[in-house]
Amino acid sequence: MREKAACLISTTQNPVSLMPKSTTESPSSDLFNWTEPVIMFAWQIFIFLSLRNAIFHGYEDSESLLSSIANVTRPLFAYASPLVVTVFAAGYLLVFLLPAMGKSNRLLLDVLGFFLIARTVIGFLMLNLLIINPLSDNMLLLRQFLCFMPALILAWGWLYWRLDQGARRHGRQLLLFPEDCPNDIREPLSTFDYYYHSAMVAFIFELSEVEPLTKPMKVLFLLNAGMMLDLVGLVLTQAIGLAGTG
């Protein structure tokens, strides 16, 4: 506790010195800093598979309202998918071209990131709707969970990183990591630590070593934990249902 308090005082007095260097707001010489675009590419793949799985296979052999809605959205999804791929391909191309032209690609990456967050929220809602719809495939919900969980981990990791790093560039701090006080056995804070924290929230239900320093960040922590518990509850509900019918 004393170490964390001392660390908080030092980061408040000099937050910029402890801030990991951004890989996206860099000069043109850092063109090959590709970490964030690669993360977004993987994020896009997982959320695409999740949405496609739900829309095309989640409401088959059902006469519910959700099935009727899915029947309408299937051709729209099939039509929009190539457009989304084209837009993202153009966006990724610009992500690397803009730094080469001496311009920042930060706004473009933010647009891509928040668009993916919107798609992730839609995927989360559709995953919850599957549990109230009769499923012809008993393994569908599990496949949906396996596709969506990586997307959700990447979404929260990117959001934590973007908000905290944006605040640190303006002399503030939203999250306090143990890595904010590096020593001989602890590495300095890096981008990886944000995604590591997001994964630990998903896989280990215990008090995190990362401390939110503002009320909005505390709310985000609660939402993150709530979404993860919701997904675990969905899978357990499906497992209990299969055991009961078996």
| Residue 181 Ramachandran class (φ > 0 left, ψ -120 to 50 alpha, else beta) | beta
Does 15 reside within a domain? no
Does 40 reside within a domain? yes
Does 187 reside within a domain? yes
Does 179 reside within a domain? yes
The pLDDT value recorded for residue 49 is 85
Phi, psi (rounded to 5 degrees) for 238: -65, -40
The answer to whether 52 and 123 have CB atoms below 8 angstroms apart is no
Does 3 reside within a domain? no
Does 10 reside within a domain? no
Residue 157 confidence class, pLDDT cut points 50, 70, 90: very high
**What domain range includes position 60?**
21-245
Separation CA 228–CA 220 (nearest Å) = 12
Does 14 reside within a domain? no
Q: 165-201: per-residue pLDDT in tens?
A: 999 999 999 999 988 887 777 788 888 999 999 998 8
Does 184 reside within a domain? yes
Residue 16 confidence class, pLDDT cut points 50, 70, 90: very low
